Amino acid sequence: MAYVSVDKMFCKGCGLCVEVCPKGIMALDMDTINAKGYHPAVCTDQDACIACMSCALMCPDVAITIER
């Protein structure tokens, strides 16, 4: 099992991680706005993550960390 963490301060809400996740478990948190004024990404189902790292590699701001 993996744990996906997003550094909300670095996220700019571009949605690239949402698009690339093969499990469809990344989403923009519409209930949260970070200091930059963006809705940050969040993992909606940690148990479903297969630790493929696609989201972390895609993120242009290196905001995602995958812990195995």
To ligand SF4, the closest distance from the beta carbon of 41 in angstroms equals 4
Does the footprint of ligand SF4 cover residue 45 (CB under 6 A)?
no
CA-nearest of 29, 25, 21 to 54 is 21
Q: Phi/psi of residue 52, each to 5°?
A: -75, -15
Residue among 33, 34, 41, 44 that touches ligand SF4 (CB under 6 A): 41
Interface with ligand SF4 (CB under 6 A): 4, 6, 11-17, 20-23, 25-26, 41, 43, 49-55, 58-59, 61, 63-64, 66
